[in-house]
Amino acid sequence: MYHELPRGASFWRFLLSIDQDLAGTVRQKVCSCGGRLHQADYPRKPRGSGEKLPPEYRYRFSFCCDRDGCRKRVTPPSVRFLGRKVYLAAVVVLVSAMRQGPTPRRVRELSELFGADRRTIARWQLFWREQFPQSPFWKVARGRLLTATVMLLPRTLVDLFLRNEEPCQDWGRLLRFLSPITTTSGLSSEVSG
């Protein structure tokens, strides 16, 4: 099955609206110390969309406790940014999936399409092969997927979620499903402050 990203700014605005919802849920919470959470976004310069992104893409939403001595960070999951990766999450997923399957797309072709170089794409493949399967998120989430297929990650996920009927909605559901890995606790079992 052949997949691509939905064209046009509306797709990126749609993903932004999901991130705004996810951030809104966190904003209403209080820190475990009882302090209030203030917005303290991380600057970002995302790559790979091939088009002009809404200005909000210069930031990953994040919050910080306002109490001295605590200042704990709370970063909501994201459908736009995959952890600290520079490229947009949708691009990391799509390019990695296109390298898999019966007719993998050539690295050179993907580099020309999305701008990521050979080493970057190789790092993403390593991520899906080694880091992602070990994540606390995946150990729980894979049981929820009612599929007997052998998992080729992320290719199998892309094929499962993208039915090409409503590409925007399908991508939104896939990225929403994966969004726990965009936070430290979903990706690694290490507790970080």
Residue 180 makes contact with Zn ion by CB under 5 A:
no
**Closer residue to Zn ion (CB): 70 or 151:** 70
Nearest to 172 by CA among 46, 12, 55: 12
Check residue 136 for interaction with Zn ion (CB under 5 A): no
Quick one: 36 or 139, whose CB is closer to Zn ion? 36
Contact with Zn ion (CB under 5 A) among 70, 74, 86, 113: 70
Cα R_g (the chain), whole angstroms: 17
Is residue 35 near Zn ion by the rule CB under 5 A? yes
Q: Tell me: does residue 64 bind Zn ion (CB under 5 A).
A: no
From 23-31, 79-87, 92-100, 148-156, span contacting Zn ion (CB under 5 A): 23-31
Distances (CA, A) of 190 to 127, 183, 184, 186: 17, 11, 8, 10
Task: Tell which residue, 54, 60, 63, has the closest CA to residue 14.
Answer: 54
**Shortest distance, position 73 Cβ to Zn ion, whole Å:** 10
38 three-class SS: strand
Give the range of 32-40, 46-54, 84-92, 118-126 binding Zn ion by CB under 5 A: 32-40
Q: Burial, 41: exposed, middle or buried (Cβ in 10 Å; 0-12, 13-18, 19+)? A: middle
Interface positions with Zn ion (CB under 5 A): 31, 33, 35, 65, 67, 70, 72
